[in-house]
Chains A and B, each alone.
Chain A
């Protein structure tokens, strides 16, 4: 769990979302619909975005789970977080953790996504404030900055 091994006494059928929020106090991951429709509850399991509201906690035993709280390196934001913050790509902010997780998952397998790939990867996430265009911009910017910083480190 965010790099630390955690033991949780819980009914294995309970959703990962419930265990994260109510038992581990990791409330950055949000409840939106409870049926995997809105993406607010996304977390990374072994690096891939999953909808924690429809994932029984038993399924992640022994696997690596990263929540929105585990993305930054201390005070250093993940490039996707940085892009969302710099562009002000949020309104009420409630859907943003799930959006960021979906984007991180996409960029980890597709570092140079096309516009269509970004839309397709993000389509499972709902922003009711309608901030979609700025969110797309943030994902593209994150892809660009990740590439250029990767280039510098070579």
Chain B
């Protein structure tokens, strides 16, 4: 039930109707209009987005707004750098509001490496438009044409030595309440001319982080706050048959909520809340669930319709069957990847507080607008009465998309008449979250005797379509994927499908190169259809000191040391990874050295990009070597950090990062693609060292090469 008098939410109003100046004070606002999701998905103009806006106040403060969230990947500083660049002001003069549904433009969510190509481009265009208006205002004031105006360090003056004294931006917009939209084709500053963007900068928030002053959602504690706990099914696929809350409802100071399948309690301290939850008598109806041992067969027999991340691609060229039949060299192999967990250091946390019929939820989230709408739906409210704020968040990696926790906290807070925070325990984080999908990839290839590819058949089960297409020239191809009805909950994950597809393809290419006795670098360079990717591969081979090799690997193998290389092209980023490994006499694997090269167009924030590439490489090491969710009968068997191993200091080899800065190309995201060549590079190095070809991730669950 939606009261008719409720206004529409800020982000859905037309720009001219939004009460910008009531909220942010007099001045100038420039808006880049939204592109709404079309009825058939993403429109011709690219992904849907809510645009961007920038407010310039009478005090000269430049305040930019985006719906994207920074959950630790450093986009806050990168985006602010772009605004500073366009406005010709120091980075410290930019305020940036992100991911607050009462203040920000709508956004579909922070995923898919879209923050730089979407929000970055929008803020650049908006900033350039603000600059154009400032030049006009200053020109009118000085009685000159706008081209004679120079904007520098927050002041407008005249080019050359003579003329009136420069004035601060704030003075130019004094008394204004002007809203402009970004004119089509407003060109931002070309990356080649950047002076602020593109230079190393420490990320925002350093002092609050190192002093412990930064408040994450799980740190928030308003007066009177209660601790919430939700009842969860004991296993996947279990349904609530009956529930008896009598013993719970008599507890003093305990709020109990039951709304359909949602059962929750709240109490003044965590221990009372946990104890109260234990008094709930619930009966569950379980259904048989596949075990880990039979999972591959299960996936093969449970196809599903594609949706969301599991969109389906089908690409065909030439006649792959005929080409396979005619090829002198053929290879047919299957590669698998395990379910793995995101394991954000900060578990999911949501704080809900009501003020009359307005609800505010603070939530570590990558999809605040989606959560706002889910809250409004679940609670029968207008979205204009729901505010979702994303405070600093202890990482996400694709794992923080869901709003279940927020709905639970909101219902409990409403029933209790007090703010309620729910923070997942680590075990809840493992069992209530969703996983990176398990994937089964089958590759059949055909080649000439010198390795020239003639046939390529690539079919992935449950990984997703990203990076399924091959970057190599092959005349006859058939590439497709099949979504699956997964027995474990699965969802977004940093570079999810691309990791599986790239592992399969780059392992397979290495197998072919070895089969025909070709050098793996030369083999790739000869057949890559993408010059930018070839350039990254050359840069990495150079840095690694790659020595060309020929002949079957068995003839070269010495003392258990091996080197491997792999490439990847995804989300408009190009990556190549070199790995050197040592397999000790007891078969223990040691990764000795990694070199990762990456190119994603013009680099906005080089120190942060380097950090993303290093960190992404480390995260990829976990999935490559030992991370796996174990399960049986619909239960997770290793839902603890003592049982689910993630990379530690001891696992990290020297990692050299080679960044290629292409200022002639648009900036793309860098948080995901740097992960995707790590696993195949290591698998290829293990083969080089031992002759053992490993085709399943994780490669060495117990640390040793079989």
B is bound to A: yes
Cα separation A94 to B393 with both chains bound (whole Å): 8
> In this assembly, does B704 line the interface, its C-beta being within 8 Å of a C-beta of chain A?
no
Using known A-B contacts A92-B393, A123-B650, A130-B647, determine if residue A27 contacts B615 with beta carbons closer than 8 Å.
Answer: no
Q: Mark B316-330, 1 if CB is under 8 A from A, else 0.
A: 000000000000000
Give min CB distance, B217 to chain A, whole Å. 11
- Per the 8 Å Cβ criterion, residues 148-191 of B in contact with A are none
Contact segment of B4-12, B69-77, B442-450, B567-575: B69-77
A contact residues around B206 at 8 Å (CB): 84-86, 88, 90
A32 partner, pick from B345, B397, B618, beta carbons under 8 A? B345
Cα separation A113 to B211 with both chains bound (whole Å): 24
- Per the 8 Å Cβ criterion, residues 109-128 of A in contact with B are 119, 122-123, 125-128
> In this assembly, does B425 line the interface, its C-beta being within 8 Å of a C-beta of chain A?
yes
Asked if A37 and B210 make an inter-chain contact with CB atoms under 8 angstroms apart, the answer reads no
Cα separation A28 to B397 with both chains bound (whole Å): 22
A contact residues around B214 at 8 Å (CB): 28, 93
Cα separation A143 to B146 with both chains bound (whole Å): 54
A contact residues around B652 at 8 Å (CB): 130, 132-133
B615 partner, pick from A40, A87, A91, beta carbons under 8 A? A91
Asked if B346 and A94 make an inter-chain contact with CB atoms under 8 angstroms apart, the answer reads yes
> In this assembly, does B395 line the interface, its C-beta being within 8 Å of a C-beta of chain A?
yes
> In this assembly, does B193 line the interface, its C-beta being within 8 Å of a C-beta of chain A?
no
> In this assembly, does B1 line the interface, its C-beta being within 8 Å of a C-beta of chain A?
no
Q: Mark A124-146, 1 if CB is under 8 A from B, else 0.
A: 01111111111010000000000
> In this assembly, does A105 line the interface, its C-beta being within 8 Å of a C-beta of chain B?
no
Central interface residue in A25, A92, A126, by most chain B CB within 10 Å:
A92
Asked if A68 and B345 make an inter-chain contact with CB atoms under 8 angstroms apart, the answer reads no
Asked if A93 and B392 make an inter-chain contact with CB atoms under 8 angstroms apart, the answer reads yes
> In this assembly, does A81 line the interface, its C-beta being within 8 Å of a C-beta of chain B?
yes
> In this assembly, does B224 line the interface, its C-beta being within 8 Å of a C-beta of chain A?
no
Cα separation A49 to B465 with both chains bound (whole Å): 46
Residue of B whose beta carbon sits closest to that of A131: B615
Cα separation A18 to B227 with both chains bound (whole Å): 13
Cα separation A33 to B429 with both chains bound (whole Å): 10
> In this assembly, does A59 line the interface, its C-beta being within 8 Å of a C-beta of chain B?
no
Asked if B615 and A69 make an inter-chain contact with CB atoms under 8 angstroms apart, the answer reads no
Asked if B212 and A94 make an inter-chain contact with CB atoms under 8 angstroms apart, the answer reads no
Residue of B whose beta carbon sits closest to that of A136: B649
Using known A-B contacts A34-B425, A92-B394, determine if residue A131 contacts B346 with beta carbons closer than 8 Å.
Answer: no
> In this assembly, does A100 line the interface, its C-beta being within 8 Å of a C-beta of chain B?
yes
> In this assembly, does B648 line the interface, its C-beta being within 8 Å of a C-beta of chain A?
yes
> In this assembly, does B344 line the interface, its C-beta being within 8 Å of a C-beta of chain A?
yes
User: Could you write out 5 A-B pairs with CB less than 8 Å apart?
Assistant: A68-B210, A90-B209, A128-B395, A130-B617, A133-B655
